[in-house]
Amino acid sequence: MDSKLPVRRQDAYHIAEENMPQPSASRRWKRTSVRQRLALLATAVLGLLFFIQMPTLHSTPKQAIPRASESSTGAKRDYLSRPKVSHYWGQYSPFFSLEKQSEISTAVPPTCQIVFAQVLARHGARYPTSSKREKYVELIDTIHKQAKSYEGDYAVLKDYKIQLGADDLTRFGEQEMFESGKDFYARYMHLARDNVPFVRSSGSSRVVASGEFFNKGFQAAKGRDRESNKTQQSPIINTVIPEGEEFNNTLDAGSCKSFTSDPKDVAQDAFLKVFAPQILKKITAGLPGVELENKHVPLLMDLCPFETVAQNSTGSLSPLCRLFTLSDWQAYDYYNTLDKFYGYGKGNPLGPTQGVGFVNEVIARMTHSPVKDHTSVNQTLDSDPATFSLDATLYADFSHDNTITSIYYALGLYNDTASLPTNQSQSVGKSHGYSASWTVPFSSRAYIEMMQCGNHSTSEPLVRILVNDRVVPLSGCNADALGRCKRDDWIQSLEFARSGGEWGSC
């Protein structure tokens, strides 16, 4: 996997609050007195001399992580020069754009026009789930009871207490989704000016809240667009689908009774024996007297991303992040990737089947025809135009990382990925065509586009899919050099989903 990932405004810890309009630089300069101007010039000269003598950010060791003792400004500056740290947090990575990793341009060709856009988004950054939070509390209690001393960077654990919330979005996650709505509007502006997306959400409170903040971001962008239709109502969440095994829900597929996550447990346990022992040795050396097991290593590492996204957007990493090196984080990312691949993707016999229902809903929307599905579709909701529209041009659906992973594989996006090895350290940091941090970070989004090119009245529309701003070429439908397929060819290639996948085994 390429570790040289891009730094964009949407990247972690660089999402700013809405800025108030400010006077232009020329106006501000004119308002200053002669004395103020001389003071400003002197400050600038001193700053330039200091900058010339200051060592570069890249002089720090390659695998070093900013220390907690740095000021928030310094930490932010150092963080922005090293975003790769949070790009190896698997599904706990804050959203980051993969546009520069796209081998195909994400721009719409000049002879084409988008006529349909569907976004499938994961909720924003959250606190840990209640069950995980209990494990973290137990782990920290064990460390405090057993530790004879706290050496080096491990001193940060001496007075550390779990003060994280549970389940809900963090403030940072709310802002991520606000930005997501703005980005969606900006990309599909020519449609969004006169339309609002038809919005659905899975029933979890953090998913519903994510949809609401997305809508606010969308509307804020629309309000600043002078050419938009200001008389149109703001987007709302049109449909909330209840969660639970008793409900059919394509955004939280859990109605396949035979589904089990055993394959991912086996895979993760195998890899845990490969990467955890070396890290455990470092932990033991830093915490004399503490007796932990391999299973505690990823739990302790989890606290870095959760504590970081729980902070107000200061730009600084949690001091807990410094307990681990970049190579440790690469192993951690691969460990989480195994979770998704063998839990809900190609590595699980019933993984892709969990995403079939949503794929059939997308087909229905693209063809303006009733949904044909016998798997996880809620037939009551999908047969009512008020709760499942077939006439919109923009759609937004909000879900969880596990279900989105199943949907990606039901769409055939990563079918060429070979089975991920679990018994060799050489797997770490190398590209296998798929990773959790590249596909389902917090606030991840997939755009499913349909575009008309050439003679719009006679040409068949083309379909293209972008995952976190990276074009994923379609397969099995004679994709062109831009990764696109004709709509009907693409639909024909989705035979797995159209036939219900392996739902008979459910």
Residues classed as catalytic:
123, 401
Q: Which of 493, 389, 456 has the alpha carbon at shortest distance from 115?
A: 456
Q: Identify the H or E element spanning 461.
A: none
Q: d(Cα 118, Cα 131) in Å, to the nearest integer?
A: 33
User: Tokens 């970081």, residue?
Assistant: 308
User: Tokens 């639970």, residue?
Assistant: 244
Q: d(Cα 146, Cα 270) in Å, to the nearest integer?
A: 28
- How distant, in Å, are the alpha carbons of 436, 446, 489 from that of 431? 12, 20, 29
Q: d(Cα 271, Cα 334) in Å, to the nearest integer?
A: 9
Supply the angle between the helices 171-187 and 296-310 in degrees, to the nearest 10: 70
Burial (CB < 10 A; 0-12, 13-18, 19+), residue 222, is buried
User: Tokens 């200091």, residue?
Assistant: 50
Residues 6+ apart with CB under 8 A from 52: none
Q: Identify the H or E element spanning 122.
A: strand 112-122
What count of residues does the chain have? Answer: 506
Q: d(Cα 446, Cα 95) in Å, to the nearest integer?
A: 12
Q: d(Cα 332, Cα 324) in Å, to the nearest integer?
A: 10
Q: Identify the H or E element spanning 208.
A: helix 205-224
Q: Which of 327, 324, 331, 340 has the alpha carbon at shortest distance from 271?
A: 331
Q: d(Cα 467, Cα 360) in Å, to the nearest integer?
A: 19
Q: Which of 486, 435, 481 has the alpha carbon at shortest distance from 92?
A: 435
Q: What is the dihedral of CA 272, 277, 283, 285, to 10 degrees?
A: 180
Q: Which of 56, 70, 77 has the alpha carbon at shortest distance from 13?
A: 77
CA 438-440-445 angle, 5° bins: 95
Q: What is the DSSP letter of 126?
A: B
Half-sphere exposure in the Cβ direction for 236 (13 Å, CA): 6
Q: d(Cα 249, Cα 296) in Å, to the nearest integer?
A: 34
Fill in the amino acid letter for 485: C
Greatest CA separation found in the chain?
81
Residues 6+ apart with CB under 8 A from 278: none
